[in-house]
Amino acid sequence: MKVLVAVKRVIDANVKVRVKADGTGVETQNVKMSMNPFCEIATEEAVRLKEAGKVTEIVAVSLGNAQCAETIRTALAMGADRGIHVQTDVELQPLAVAKLLKAVVDKEQPGLVILGKQAIDDDSNQTGQMLSALLGWPQATFASKLVLNDNATANVTREVDGGLETIEVKTPFVMTTDLRLNEPRYASLPNIMKAKKKPIDALTPEQLGVDPTPRLKTLKVAEPPKRSAGIKVKSVAELVDKLKNEAKVI
C-alpha cells in the first residue's frame, strides 16, 4: 500500500509570534520555519508502517511557496520516499488545500492519506475532514492509535472530548494525527544526506485543475488583549484570603 502524507510549513512552535504593526498579518521575516508538529507525527506514522512492512511507498506532499520544498526534504529525511510540491504563492485555505490534495490523490491512488489534525498557524483543523469528504472516503480524525487490519479495514483510536473512542474504517481512508499517536524521530545526518537525492515533483494548481482562490478575506489581524500583571503572594494563607476577599471567586 502507498501512503500519502501532507506536510505543512509553518512558523516554528517555539517562536513568539508577533502581529505586524499594520494589522495585515504576522511577522514572518527572519522567523524560524518548521514542519507543522502534527505533520511530523503523520510522517513518523507512515515511516513506522513502512518499517513494519505494511506500506511500500511514502509520498510527502506540501503546498505553498518555493520554501515548502525544504519541508518536503525534512519528510524525506525522516523516511518518506519521494515528494510532491504543489507550488503557488496564493494564500491557501483548507478547502483549496483539500481540493489540491484530492487531485494529487486521484493521480497517486494511495490507500491511506495522513494529515495533521491541525496546522499550528491557522489553527483550522479542517483539511483532513474536507479531503475525505471530497474523496468520499471515511475519516479517522484525532488519531492516537492506528491498527491496519488484513481485511481492508483499520481500527483507529481517537482522542475525543470524554476520553478515547475506537472506530473501524474501510480503506482507503484519511487519518489526522493527534499528539499522542507517536513521538517523531529526528532525522539522522546520513538520512538528511540521502534525502537530497530523493525526487521531488513540482506541480501547479493549474496543472491539477484547481482554483485555489481564498474564500475568506482577512480584514484585520490584531494582538489579543493583554492580561495585566498580577501580584505575588507570600503564603498559601494569603492566597486563600485574596481569593476569598479580593477576587471573591471561592
Ligand X SMILES: Nc1ncnc2c1ncn2[C@@H]1O[C@H](COP(=O)(O)O)[C@@H](O)[C@H]1O
For ligand FAD, the binding residue among 37, 128, 184, 205 (CB under 6 A) is 37
Asked if 116 touches ligand X (CB under 6 A), the answer is yes
Shortest CB 239 distance to ligand X, Å: 39
Q: Are 208 and 191 in contact (CB under 8 A)?
A: no
Contacts 24+ apart (CB under 8 A), 15-23: 19/221, 19/222, 19/223, 20/221, 23/220, 23/221, 23/222
Pick the closer one to ligand FAD by CB: 33 or 120: 120
**Contact track, ligand FAD, 107-126, x by CB under 6 A:** -------------x------
- Number of shown-chain residues binding ligand X (CB under 6 A): 23
Amino acid at 180: R
171 binds, among ligand FAD, other proteins, ligand X, none (CB under 5 to 8 A by kind): none
For ligand X, the binding residue among 76, 119, 143, 187 (CB under 6 A) is 119
Shortest CB 102 distance to other proteins, Å: 9
Asked if 6 touches ligand X (CB under 6 A), the answer is yes
129 contact partners, CB below 8 Å, separation of at least 6: 139, 141, 174, 176
Q: Determine the Cα–Cα distance for residues 91 and 70; give it in Å rounded to an integer.
A: 18
Asked if 13 touches other proteins (CB under 8 A), the answer is yes
Q: String of b and e for 38-47 (b: at least 16 CB within 10 Å)?
A: bbbbbbbbbb
Q: Determine the Cα–Cα distance for residues 186 and 132; give it in Å rounded to an integer.
A: 29
Pick the closer one to ligand X by CB: 92 or 210: 92
Cis peptide before 172 (omega within 30 of 0): yes
Asked if 1 touches other proteins (CB under 8 A), the answer is no
Shortest CB 59 distance to other proteins, Å: 22
Shortest CB 99 distance to other proteins, Å: 8
**Contact track, ligand X, 66-95, x by CB under 6 A:** --------------------------x-x-
Task: Report the DSSP pairing between strands 9-11 and 33-35.
Answer: antiparallel
Asked if 239 touches ligand FAD (CB under 6 A), the answer is no
Q: Are 54 and 150 in contact (CB under 8 A)?
A: no
Asked if 220 touches other proteins (CB under 8 A), the answer is yes
Asked if 115 touches ligand X (CB under 6 A), the answer is yes
For ligand X, the binding residue among 122, 159, 180, 192 (CB under 6 A) is 122
Residue 25, C-alpha cell as written in the block: 498579518
Q: Are 84 and 73 in contact (CB under 8 A)?
A: no
SS3 190: helix
Which range touches ligand X (CB under 6 A), out of 23-31, 114-122, 191-199, 239-247?
114-122
